[in-house]
């Protein structure tokens, strides 16, 4: 089965065909842009935190906060026309939760008791290796997003950068 192509639609430049995509559509990740970004040094955000609850709490809100952070970083990189090298992190208390992504879905793994676990203190490590975005913007966004995700999902906690 052959695929019909719009003769006015060519990738690698701004699309001038409003009927196929609308007036705001742009192709900004051209092969040249991809090549240039991937030839840059990657920008790295990597920080460790201590998360403390006032009383023993479920591990699941920590997991939800970390996954929300990962999703937000993926969205931010896409919106800023960057490229994900790797996003990864883990939450560690009595039990452990890990997550990672290379730009698509977020993969998760946890220790056997994580889902039922209760803990008062966690170590959180978060890393994002990104191409094509300014280091300062990545660091500022990733830090603020992690703080917001924890505050939203774990409101009865204190997050301190190590």
Q: Quick check: 79 pLDDT over 50?
A: yes
What local confidence, expressed as pLDDT, does residue 117 receive? 94
Which CATH number do you get for residue 142? 3.30.1220
Q: How confident is the model at residue 31 (pLDDT cuts 50, 70, 90)?
A: low
Domain count, the chain: 1
Whether the model pTM is above 0.95: no
Given pLDDT bands bounded at 50, 70 and 90, which one contains residue 65? Answer: very high
144 domain residue, yes or no: yes
Q: Per DSSP, what are the bridge partners of residue 92? A: 96, 123
Residue 139 counted as domain residue:
yes
Gap between the Cα atoms of 11 and 113, Å rounded = 49
Average pLDDT over residues 52-70: 96
Which has the closest alpha carbon to 118: 61, 49, 50, 48? 61
pLDDT band for position 32 (50/70/90)?
low
Mean pLDDT for the stretch of residues 92-113: 96
Range of the domain at 59: 43-112+129-161
Is 118 inside a domain boundary? no
Q: Which residues pair with 88 in a beta bridge?
A: 100, 127
pLDDT digits (tens, 9 = 90+) for 107-154: 999 999 999 999 999 999 999 999 999 999 999 999 999 999 999 999
DSSP 3: P
On whether residue 123 sits in a domain, the answer given is: no
């Amino acid at each position: 089965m052959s695929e019909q192509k719009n003769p006015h639609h060519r990738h690698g430049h701004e699309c001038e065909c409003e009927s196929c995509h609308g007036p705001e559509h742009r192709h900004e990740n051209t092969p040249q842009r991809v090549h240039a970004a991937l030839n840059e040094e990657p920008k790295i955000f990597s920080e460790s935190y201590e998360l403390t609850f006032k009383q023993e709490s479920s591990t699941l809100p920590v997991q939800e906060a970390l996954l929300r952070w990962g999703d937000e970083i993926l969205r931010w990189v896409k919106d800023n026309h960057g490229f994900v090298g790797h996003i990864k992190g883990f939450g560690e208390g009595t039990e452990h939760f890990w997550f990672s992504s290379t730009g698509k879905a977020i993969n998760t793994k946890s220790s056997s008791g994580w889902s039922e676990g209760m803990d008062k203190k966690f170590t959180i490590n978060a890393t994002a290796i990104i191409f094509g975005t300014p280091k300062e913007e990545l660091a500022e966004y990733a830090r603020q997003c992690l703080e917001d995700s924890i505050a939203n999902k774990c409101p009865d906690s204190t997050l301190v950068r190590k």
